[in-house]
Structure 1
Amino acid sequence: MGEESFAWRGIHKITLPEGITTIKYYAFSRNCLKNVQLPSTLHYIGDDAFSLNDIESLSFYDNVEYIGCGSFGSSNWQNNLSDGMTIIGKCLYRFTDRNNTIKDVVIPDGVVSISPEAFSNKRILQIYSK
């Protein structure tokens, strides 16, 4: 998916086919998405790829290796990190909920890097590792 491919289009639902490996920055930003299910072939989610939606439910597979800065910003989604993820991008949780509190964060075993500000401006109650 290219940069800003489907941004600002009022999209309520998407079905992404198998075979997609990369979603670039702002690809689905500023829509009306609530539930997102990503294909098993996806490895990379760019910065702000799904920002400014109302995502409540997010499903993806363990082979997602990178989630960029603000990828799911301004959504109610939180704490759905892939077991296969190796990098947590800067500002991943920056705007995930409106009260700036994340109850639990589970860091998958395979994570080798957490960028500065990945959880910026958040009150985290508990952090676990798998």
Structure 2
Amino acid sequence: NEYEGYAISVSRDFLALRRNNLKIPSKYKGKPVIGINDYAFDFNRTEDGYKFITLKKIKIPNTVKYIGVRAFDWNELERVKIPDSVVFIGERAFARNELKKVKIPDSVVFVGPNAFSGNNISEIEDIQLGAGLTDYWVFDEETGELKGHIGLPKNYDLVIPNSIRGKTVTSIASNSFYNINLKSVFIPDSVKHISEDGFYLSNWYNDIVIYGKAGSEAEKYAKKHGMRFVAE
């Protein structure tokens, strides 16, 4: 079928080359390269990762349909062109790079939580959504659970809304804002549950200011984790 083909993973041969420029082939053994596997070029997870020079440039062919979880996490990419063949971008796929702007093509219908977090994106307007996406939030409309955000710049002040796409935000999922350098977060009173690690390693807790209503779940969470709370 149309999805027959290969998915790319990092290889020992590539590690041995110690290159920071990567051109992914469009074909392998006569079949198209249709995907980039989870953790494929994640600096922190690749086999023999300590030998791996972080990527600065990549070229993704227009045969690729999906980019896996943390596929390019923790590199030094300054720009990336996502081809209009891509329909799926996994969680933290391009997190912790040096990207300044991101353009997501119309073909993309799913972007995982924090796919572009921890980059040099100074304004949310620097992330251009394609026609296949409606907003920046990763949200389960059936359960009211907030699972993350497509792209959070470094030192970002985050305002979580009461509702997304007309549905009330009632909870914050595990690792929703994992390891992101947030300065402050406003959590609405509609949120009745925050997972223990919802903000795990985000500026090491202590440096984040939590804003919310007195007596709310936000205040309870802040006090439990030694975070500063300001009632609004």
**Per the shorter chain, which TM-score range?**
0.7 to 0.9
- The equivalent residue for 2:123 is 102
TM-score, structure 1 normalization: 0.77
Contact kept in structure 2, 1:6 and 1:29, CA below 8 Å:
no
Indicate whether 1:23 and 2:46 are aligned: no
- The equivalent residue for 1:84 is 107
Structure 1 54/87 Cα, relative in aligned 2: closer, same or farther at 3 Å? same
Q: Structure 1 unaligned runs (5+)? A: 125-130
Identity of aligned residues (%): 20
Residue type matched to 2:123 in 1?
I
Shift of 1:64: 0.6
- The equivalent residue for 1:34 is 56
Structure 1 108/48 Cα, relative in aligned 2: closer, same or farther at 3 Å? same
Shift of 1:80: 2.3
Q: CA RMSD in A?
A: 2.6
Q: What is the correspondence of 1:1-130 to structure 2 with a 5 Å cutoff?
A: 1=7, 5-6=10-11, 9=15, 10-18=18-26, 19-30=32-43, 31-77=53-99, 78-97=101-120, 101-104=122-125, 105-111=127-133, 115=138, 116-119=147-150, 121-122=152-153, 123=156
Q: Which has the higher helix share?
A: 2
Count of residues in Structure 1 that have an aligned counterpart in Structure 2: 121
> What is the SS of the residue equivalent to 1:62?
coil
Q: How far apart are the structure 2 equivalents of 1:60 and 1:120?
A: 15
Shift of 1:94: 2.2
Per mean C-alpha deviation after superposition, the further-off stretch among 27-36 and 40-49 is 27-36
Cα offsets for 1:52-87 (capped at 9, x unmatched): 110012123112111111111111224221221001
